[in-house]
């Protein structure tokens, strides 16, 4: 019987119970308080007092239990969740307590500014020790999305790629598009959510990966953000696609609507597998609405499925024929091959990444086709863009910023909130085992090069490949002898007209979903 997983790819059968003496073991973030039917009777003064108590715990008599409690409180998003209660109920009508909002809103807003501020964020990072900033003492090469940077203490080299490698790396890193929590946008659908704080990190991480795919496709991998204006028109058009309104093709609003079939909803967490499938659905719907010539995402999307024989635990298989069919569907039969984005959702362990996979994960960043990894700390998704030894550099969406209305034709706009020059890195063996890897192939030659590199990586994996490559997908014995049609349906190879719908065929041959949630 397949295991049931929660939203972050965790099996309920294998989740470690919390220990009362070590709250740092609490891996799964609690449900936001606004999910409960009846909110607890808190007010602004209660929150301030609670906040003051938590600071008092840092005094000279800090016990191990109170330290663990403070760490858990700061990392759980309790305060943000409580504030969402105040905002929701402060806007309620007919409650007979109009004076409540006036008395507590001042305290609430003040504490919100503290909790959302950079000083509190830096305090949390230092206290929790979950990530590091800046460069490490290592002089090993850094790989950033397929580009190698030589780090040398001497700093003297005739090789342009080695000259001032740190500065070149920072320029490249800070040119990647950063998409973070935003507040103050129009309500999502019929909900009251005007912010994605505390629940939208996976959506934001995935937006960053897709934005990088568009940057490489339209501006080439060598593109760097200019410090002078006017800005690149293509760059501004890409930013506009990820705005925070229904008018923006790849907004949080539209992602949630496209992900209804995968239980995406405002205020809920989502895992990498559902996120990949959601993007597949959104890109397909945008293609149908805009036509071939004006597609906002001008490439096919291929979510790599599981073992070709349906064997449980098998590595995902990149099937050349499947990729070709995605390209044909994208071009509506007008081309044999088109640009293609490959997404490989994985679960590489029960609680953390199995050490056997670490070398292969790092090697994927050496691929010229690399788009990085959707992953990060358990319960806190980030966009991992590079590696040095076994340290992963990432862009963090957990910064709360006001909504910005970026117009595609405004080449003088301030886009500083879409970039970050602070280097954050975390050990690869500490990231969440539920993740997804992205690759962009511009043409068939580029795809063939990717397949060659992936096959060599699988051969060198010592029996633990991330994924494998095959020319043609074998049909599971349980499904009989069927052949796939261009529209996603199946037909028996004996020539009979017994057709199976695409959904039924998927039920027969699709991998066990629990492997990739």
Helix 78-90, helix 98-116: angle, nearest 10? 150
Instruction: Say how far apart CA 152 and CA 141 lie, in whole Å.
Output: 9
Quote the strand ranges of 314-411, DSSP E.
Answer: 317-319, 340-347, 370-377, 380-388, 391-395, 401-402
**Residue 424 Cα distances to 96, 135, 151, 327, angstroms:** 48, 9, 17, 36
Instruction: Say how far apart CA 37 and CA 40 lie, in whole Å.
Output: 10
The three-class DSSP label of residue 383 is strand
Instruction: Say how far apart CA 371 and CA 388 lie, in whole Å.
Output: 16
> What residues are paired with 147 via a beta bridge?
144
For 313, left (φ over 0), alpha (ψ -120 to 50), or beta?
Answer: left
State the catalytic residues: 201, 396, 398
Instruction: Say how far apart CA 276 and CA 10 lie, in whole Å.
Output: 17
For 266, left (φ over 0), alpha (ψ -120 to 50), or beta?
Answer: beta
Instruction: Say how far apart CA 331 and CA 377 lie, in whole Å.
Output: 38
Residue written as tokens 């490490």?
136
Instruction: Say how far apart CA 472 and CA 318 lie, in whole Å.
Output: 9
Instruction: Say how far apart CA 302 and CA 281 lie, in whole Å.
Output: 11
Long-range contacts of 132-138 (CB under 8 A, 24+ apart): 132/391, 132/424, 132/425, 132/426, 133/422, 133/423, 133/424, 133/425, 134/423, 135/166, 135/423, 136/388, 136/389, 136/391, 136/425, 138/388, 138/389, 138/391
Strands 391-395 and 424-427: antiparallel
């Amino acid at each position: 019987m397949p295991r049931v997983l929660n939203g972050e790819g965790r099996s309920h059968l294998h989740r470690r119970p919390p220990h009362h003496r070590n709250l740092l073991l609490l891996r799964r973030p609690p449900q936001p308080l606004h999910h409960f039917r009846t909110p607890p009777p808190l007010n602004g003064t209660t929150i301030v007092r609670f906040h003051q108590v938590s600071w008092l715990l840092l005094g000279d008599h800090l016990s191990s239990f109170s330290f663990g409690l403070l760490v858990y409180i700061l990392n759980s998003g309790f305060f943000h969740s409580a504030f969402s209660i105040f905002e929701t109920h402060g806007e309620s009508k007919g409650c007979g307590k109009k004076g409540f909002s006036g008395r507590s809103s001042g305290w609430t807003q003040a504490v919100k500014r503290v909790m959302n501020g950079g000083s509190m964020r830096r305090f949390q990072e230092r206290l929790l020790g979950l990530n590091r900033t800046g460069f490490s003492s290592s002089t090993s090469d850094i790989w950033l999305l397929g580009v190698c940077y030589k780090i040398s203490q001497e700093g003297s080299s005739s090789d342009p790629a080695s000259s001032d490698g740190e500065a070149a790396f920072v320029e490249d890193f800070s040119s990647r598009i950063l998409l973070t929590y935003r507040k103050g946008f129009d309500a999502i659908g019929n909900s009251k959510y005007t912010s994605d704080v505390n629940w939208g990190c996976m959506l934001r991480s995935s937006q960053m990966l897709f934005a990088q795919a568009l940057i490489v496709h339209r501006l080439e991998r060598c593109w760097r953000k200019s410090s002078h204006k006017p800005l690149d028109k293509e760059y501004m058009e890409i930013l506009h696609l990820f705005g925070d309104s229904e008018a923006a093709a790849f907004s949080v609003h539209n992602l949630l609507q496209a992900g209804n079939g995968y239980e995406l909803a405002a205020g809920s967490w989502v895992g990498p597998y559902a996120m990949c499938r959601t993007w597949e659905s959104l890109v397909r719907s945008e293609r149908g609405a805009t036509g071939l010539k004006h597609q906002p995402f001008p490439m096919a999307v291929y979510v790599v499925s599981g073992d070709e024989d349906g064997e449980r635990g098998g590595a995902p298989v990149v099937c050349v024929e499947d990729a070709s069919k995605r390209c044909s569907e994208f071009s509506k039969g007008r081309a044999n091959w088109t640009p293609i984005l490959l997404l490989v959702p994985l679960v590489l362990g029960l609680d953390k990444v199995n050490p056997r996979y670490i070398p292969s994960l790092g090697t994927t960043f050496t691929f010229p086709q690399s788009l990085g990894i959707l992953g990060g700390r358990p319960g806190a998704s980030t966009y991992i863009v590079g590696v040095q030894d076994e340290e992963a550099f990432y862009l963090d969406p957990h910064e709360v910023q006001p909504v910005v209305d970026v117009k595609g034709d405004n080449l003088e706009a301030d886009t500083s909130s879409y970039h970050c020059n602070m280097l954050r890195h975390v050990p690869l063996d500490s990231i969440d085992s539920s993740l997804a890897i992205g690759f962009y192939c511009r043409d068939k030659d580029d795809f063939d090069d990717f397949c060659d590199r992936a096959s060599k990586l699988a051969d060198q994996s010592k029996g633990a490949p991330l994924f494998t490559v095959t020319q043609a997908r074998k049909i599971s014995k349980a499904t009989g002898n069927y052949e796939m049609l261009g529209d996603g349906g199946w037909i028996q190879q004996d020539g009979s007209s017994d057709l199976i719908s695409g959904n039924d065929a998927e039920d027969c041959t699709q991998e066990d979903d629990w492997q990739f949630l």
